[in-house]
Structures are given as C-alpha cells and as structure tokens.
Chains A and B, each alone.
Chain A
Amino acid sequence: MKDNGNPYKPHVATVEDTWNETYGDRCIKTFKVVFDDEKVRESWEHLPGQCAMIGLPGVGESMISISCSPTEGKFLRFSVMRMGKVTQALHQLEPGDKMNVRGPYGNSFPVDEWKGKKIITIGGGIGQAPLRPIIEYVKANRSDYEDLTVIYGSRTSSDLCFQGELEELNSCDDVSCHLSIDVEEENWSHFVGFVPSLLMDVNPSPENTIAITCGPPIMIKFVLENLKKLNFEDDQIYTTLENRMKCGIGKCGRCNAGNLYVCKDGPVFSYATLKQVPEAFA
C-alpha cells in the first residue's frame, strides 16, 4: 500500500474472528482481520513471508508476520504472542473490535523460484506463524510444487499453534506433518524431543528440496547444523529473521543485522546470505 501518501499512516481493520492458539503467560492469539476501506481491501497484496505493523492508536505498533497466504481470501491473519505493551492491548480485542494495520513490509519467500521443488518447513513455537503462509500457499498451488513436509515442535502440546490444521495435513497426498514436544506427555503419539532431533528423525533428502526454518535462535542454530549434516547446500536453506522495528521502511535504523535491514532486505534470507553476516544470529 505505497499509494496512501504517507507510509506511516495505518489503515483501519476490523477483527472478524479471534481465538487462542495457546494459553498461559505467553499465550498466542490469532486475529482474522478485514480492512474497513474497500479500496484497501481490494488493492492489498502480500506474499508469504511478509509482515505488517499492527497496533492501536495511543498504545503503539508492533511488527508481526502475516500468518495467512493470499490464496486464503481477502483478509489477513496475525498470530500474536502476548509479550509487551502493544501485544497485551491487542489480546484484549474481540470480534468486531478494530486495529490499525500498515504494510505489507519486507521481501517474501521466493515462491516462484521454488516451483517444481520439494518444500520442508521446520518451525518451533511462535516461529510457525511466518511458516504457515508458505504451507497454505503450497497447498493452494499444489501442482506447482513437489512434496510438502511440515516439521513443527514446541515445549508442550498446549504450546503448539495451528495443531488441528497441521494434523489434517497428513490426510493430503504428498504432504506430511511431523510434530514434537520437548518432554513426554500422556496421550502424545508423536515425537518427543527437540525440533532439530525431529528433523534428523524425518531425515529428508536434500535433492531438489528447499528447507525453511523459523523459531527460537537456539533452535535455528541446531536446525542449520543438522541440515548441513543432511547435505543441504546453503542456498537450499531459508529462514526469516525478526528484530525490533519502528518504521518498517528502512529509516529508523534499529533492525539491521550487519549491513542488512531486516525490514527491507529481509525478513526472508537464504543461509547463503546470512552466513556472510556475523550479526545475523545475534
């Protein structure tokens, strides 16, 4: 939405639906929102991997990844962990309430380049939010891609986001979903252990494959190591970074990782790029 004259002025959107993905101190709530202005609704375009600044006047804004694929419809989804002032206020919103949205920001996953390839997503905790649009996008354009493998874990079963829809993936052809939790629980039939171990257990072949990972920095570190053990090349591995942001348009300065602005050059980077940036995994 670069034509509204002022890149800092947000649009107004209405919460159509909202539900808790997880509960507890750092609970995650998903918001399905629709722009109030029909022109904005029609002209908004985003791709998997992009983010938006969402917030409330008088409270502030936070950069949140858009957790739906454009193929799902003329709405946006944000899955927000309750963390600070803005996310606390957002969590109070009920259906019919409004929020501010500006964006979309950043680059996106190179979904066209990846046509004809196998796709693996490897997520941990809230890190599944930016991976969800890729899964939905590949599902919607199923014939453009080969096998889709989803690897996702969190600390406990009640910390898993999108669990229902992820389990449903196993009923699709050429799509598999592998879930894990860190420690044993009653009635848990999936993997027990950390996500990097689950990755080794799934043991994907690197042939004609793209691996995309997002999660806590420590998980990403070991996922990268394990992908290398599985003989993935640097340019077959993608991740999406997050840093504190204020403007979203490469001005305010703070989101840089080395010479890259996460808000403009990212948030999606290949490991081949990030390897050159010493601050990338700080």
Chain B
Amino acid sequence: MEHLKLSKDKLGDFVAKLGDKEVLVPQKEGEALKFVPLTGDSVPELDYANTSVPPKNAVFPQTETMLRFEWGKMETTAVTGEAKEKVFFGVRPCDARAKVIVDKLFTWDEKDPYYVEKREKSTVVGLACAEPCSNCFCTSVGGGPASTEGLDVLLTDLGESYLVQPLTDEGQSLCQAASDDLEKAAEGDVQAAEKVHQEAEKKISRQIDTGGIPEGLPGLWENELWEKVSQSCLGCGICTYLCPTCHCFDMQDEVEGFDGRRCRTWDSCMFSEYTMHASGHNPRPTRRERTRNRINHKYSYFVDKFDVIACVGCGRCISLCPVNIDILDILSKVKEAL
C-alpha cells in the first residue's frame, strides 16, 4: 500500500475525520498516562514514550458486565452487542502486538463474545518508537520499535510530519476518509522513516536471548532461583494489571436492589486467592509458586499452546514494580540455570 504523509499541523483535522468512531488517545489522568476518549476538538498529544497503562482496558475492561438478571429470577440476559467502533490512536507497536497475542487466548476453542466484539470493532493506528524507554526489550521477544503486527496504520514521526503507512483494508479506508489532509510521501520520507526505525532499534539497551527458555523452564521447577526472585515481592499484582498481555479474570455477582449483574474483573496470578480452593487448600500457597507460575505461563505454557511468548517487552512490569523486581533479571537467572 502507498505511503502517505501527514503534516503535524493537520493532525487534529485527520483525527476529526475518523467520523463517529470513538477515538482513544494517550492522555494524562492524574499521575497516569492512559488511553482515553478524545473529546471536543482537542488534538492528540503524541509526544510520549509509552503510556503507563496499556490500551487493553478498552477491549478487556477492568470490570465489565457479562449478564444481567433480576434478583430472585433465574433468567439471565447476556450483555453483548453494545460495543462501539473505536480507533486507538498512537498505540506503540508492543501494545498492538499484545492484542494479537491476547486474541489467541480469547478466540481459541469457544470464542469469548465480550472480547471478540470489542476487538472486531477496533482499528489501531500505531506510532513507531523513536526513543525507546530504558526498560524496553521488545526486540528480544519477537517485536520491534516499528513492528506492524496488530496495526492497521503505522505512523512514524519525521519531525514536522508523520509518515503514514496503511497496513490493512481498515487502515486504507481510514486514510481515504482523511485524504484531504494527507499527501503522497516522497521516497526520501520513506527512507527517513526507515532510519528512525533503525536508530530506535539501536537505542534498545536491554536484551535477552530467549532461546531455550520455553523448553527449559519446566525443568527448573524446584530450582532455588524462584525463592530468590520472589523474596521481595509484595504480591501487589501491578506487574499483571499493567501487563498488556495479562488476561486472567475473576467472575463475581453483584446485586443492588433488584438489579443483578454477573461481571468479570481483572484478576492476578500474584494474589493468593486466585487459586485458593473452597476447602482452603491452595496449590500455590506462597509468592514463590505464584512468581514461578507467572514466568512459566508467559514464557513456556503460552508458547506450548499458542506458539508465541506472552510478553511483548514493554518493560512496564519492571518500571512500575514498587520493589524493583525485574523480569529480565529473572530471565537471565533462568538462562544461567538452564
């Protein structure tokens, strides 16, 4: 597909032409930078490294109603068919890849109707990374600062303008709708963008060779490393809440007056209640077992089932852990032990 160019002063016009779709852009909410709907005629602010919260909430909400019912009645009504068309604008390639990885989970065997309908109504406009964060390691887990997996359009910052690369039919039609604001890119623009991508890749300072980890991890079951790496863990679960690929959920019923709902909420394998049986028996009684499961799930079990590591190297779990637990440090201990 043809490369296009968008002048930065036309960004607002471009976004306005996305029609009646809800446009989610990175915005500051308190301390956190996260994807929230763009309101009025405001212009997205795309000068950021990465959002502190990944854009998963819009397709897999932290809390969502699955069924409604009237208290005392047995009939339940499924709450589906309410998803709106959404455009995610300015998503980093790692977070776009994460959606493709999570798709595998929610669509294998029986499809999850809540996730699927939101995902099918999503268009993703990515923004290539020019300045990776200090804890980024996307290139070690199959991604890159300009990876196009999961994207409909890729933007690359060229200083005064963006190179616009439509990647899918959805991306193409989105660009067609805003063709007044776009111009044809010159060969030099395409080369400049490639240079940005290459430079960005060089700036990624953290790396690990994941070779051998998926097959080797289960063999390290009783290794002392799990005790060591989990000692300082508080069990707060932020590594999983802020992870773009974490997808575990709980289901709970709530009743207010006669209005009842069954909802799901994010859950975390780092919480003790996650696996606690009704009898009180817990197959993962301490943080050692829970940390071991988190790493095994991402780097081994998920690979067994879906042929891809369930980590995109965004580095959030490293940057935001209150006690500085570093997944790359854990992985390098795993490598040493193999």
- Inter-chain contacts of A2 with B (CB < 8 A): 110
Q: Check if A282 sits within 8 Å of B283, measured CB to CB.
A: yes
Q: Check if B108 sits within 8 Å of A254, measured CB to CB.
A: no
Q: Which residue of A lies closest to B69 (CB)?
A: A57
- Which of the 9-residue segments A39-47, A160-168, A257-265 touches chain B? A257-265
Q: Check if A258 sits within 8 Å of B113, measured CB to CB.
A: no
Q: Check if A60 sits within 8 Å of B249, measured CB to CB.
A: no
Interface residues of B in 24-79 (CB under 8 A from A): 66-67, 69, 71-76, 78
Q: Which residue of A lies closest to B80 (CB)?
A: A6
- Inter-chain contacts of B274 with A (CB < 8 A): 244, 254
Q: Check if A252 sits within 8 Å of B305, measured CB to CB.
A: no
Q: Which residue of A lies closest to B75 (CB)?
A: A12
- Inter-chain contacts of B67 with A (CB < 8 A): 8-9, 57
- Inter-chain contacts of A159 with B (CB < 8 A): none
CA distance A244 to B248 in the complex (A): 13
Q: Check if A246 sits within 8 Å of B250, measured CB to CB.
A: yes
Does chain B have a CB within 8 A of A87? Answer: yes
Q: Which residue of B lies closest to A257 (CB)?
A: B283
Does chain B have a CB within 8 A of A7? Answer: yes
Does chain B have a CB within 8 A of A70? Answer: no
Q: Mark B292-334, 1 if CB is under 8 A from A, else 0.
A: 0100110011001100000000000000000000000000000
- Inter-chain contacts of B73 with A (CB < 8 A): 57
Q: Check if B251 sits within 8 Å of A252, measured CB to CB.
A: yes
The answer, among B71, B74, B78, for a CB contact under 8 Å with A6, is B78
Q: Could you tell me the distance in whole angstroms from the C-beta of B80 to the nearest C-beta in chain A?
A: 7
Q: Mark A184-201, 1 if CB is under 8 A from B, else 0.
A: 000000000000000000
Interface residues of A in 257-279 (CB under 8 A from B): 257-259, 264, 278-279
Q: Check if B278 sits within 8 Å of A57, measured CB to CB.
A: no
Q: Mark A1-24, 1 if CB is under 8 A from B, else 0.
A: 010011111101000000000000
- Inter-chain contacts of A247 with B (CB < 8 A): 249, 251
Q: Check if B284 sits within 8 Å of A60, measured CB to CB.
A: no
Q: Check if B249 sits within 8 Å of A250, measured CB to CB.
A: no
- Which of the 9-residue segments B2-10, B15-23, B252-260 touches chain A? B252-260
The answer, among B76, B105, B112, for a CB contact under 8 Å with A10, is B76
CA distance A69 to B307 in the complex (A): 37
Does chain B have a CB within 8 A of A251? Answer: yes
Q: Check if A243 sits within 8 Å of B277, measured CB to CB.
A: yes
Does chain A have a CB within 8 A of B279? Answer: yes
CA distance A57 to B110 in the complex (A): 23
CA distance A7 to B255 in the complex (A): 22
The answer, among B72, B74, B106, B262, for a CB contact under 8 Å with A251, is B106
Q: Check if A253 sits within 8 Å of B269, measured CB to CB.
A: yes
Q: Check if A249 sits within 8 Å of B78, measured CB to CB.
A: no
Known contacts A252-B251, A258-B301: does B78 contact A98 (CB below 8 Å)?
no
Q: Check if B247 sits within 8 Å of A244, measured CB to CB.
A: no
Q: Check if A253 sits within 8 Å of B251, measured CB to CB.
A: no
- Inter-chain contacts of B222 with A (CB < 8 A): 278
Q: Check if A254 sits within 8 Å of B301, measured CB to CB.
A: no
Does chain A have a CB within 8 A of B281? Answer: yes
Does chain B have a CB within 8 A of A213? Answer: no
CA distance A279 to B296 in the complex (A): 11
Known contacts A6-B78, A259-B305, A264-B109: does B248 contact A253 (CB below 8 Å)?
yes
Q: Could you tell me the distance in whole angstroms from the C-beta of A33 to the nearest C-beta in chain B?
A: 12
CA distance A9 to B71 in the complex (A): 16
Q: Check if A87 sits within 8 Å of B278, measured CB to CB.
A: yes
Q: Could you tell me the distance in whole angstroms from the C-beta of B215 to the nearest C-beta in chain A?
A: 11
Does chain A have a CB within 8 A of B12? Answer: no
- List chain B positions with a Cβ less than 8 A from chain A: 66-67, 69, 71-76, 78, 80, 105-106, 108-110, 112-113, 218, 221-222, 247-253, 255, 260, 262, 264, 267, 269, 274-279, 281, 283-284, 289, 293, 296-297, 300-301, 304-305
Would you list 21 pairs from A and B whose C-beta atoms are within 8 A, ordered by A residue?
A: A7-B112, A8-B66, A8-B78, A9-B67, A10-B76, A57-B69, A57-B260, A60-B251, A61-B251, A217-B281, A244-B275, A244-B278, A246-B264, A251-B112, A251-B249, A254-B248, A256-B297, A258-B296, A258-B301, A259-B300, A282-B289
> Besides A5-B113, A84-B278, A250-B109, 15 other CB < 8 A contacts?
A6-B113, A7-B112, A8-B67, A58-B253, A60-B251, A60-B262, A98-B74, A100-B76, A243-B283, A246-B251, A247-B249, A249-B112, A254-B274, A258-B218, A258-B301
- List chain A positions with a Cβ less than 8 A from chain B: 2, 5-10, 12, 56-62, 83-84, 87, 98-100, 217, 242-244, 246-247, 249-254, 256-259, 264, 278-279, 282
Q: 10 closest A-B pairs (Cβ-Cβ)?
A: A253-B248, A282-B283, A83-B278, A84-B278, A259-B301, A278-B221, A57-B69, A6-B78, A12-B74, A246-B251
